[in-house]
Amino acid sequence: METVRFPLGLRGVTAAVMMAEKLVKIATDEANSSNDERDAAEKVALLASLGAPESGTLPPSMRSQVRQLEDDQKRRPSAPSPIPSTAR
Map residue 49 onto helix, strand or coil: helix
Structural domain tally of the chain?
A: 1
Domain range for residue 76?
2-87
pLDDT digit string, tens, across residues 47-57: 999 988 877 88
Determine the distance from the C-alpha atom of residue 36 to the mean position of all C-alpha atoms in its chain, rounded to a whole number. Answer: 6
- Mean predicted confidence (pLDDT) in 57-81: 84
* Residue 41 confidence class, pLDDT cut points 50, 70, 90: very high
Please give the Cα distance from 53 to 10 (Å, whole number): 56
Tens-place pLDDT, residues 1-33: 666 777 777 888 998 898 889 888 988 888 888
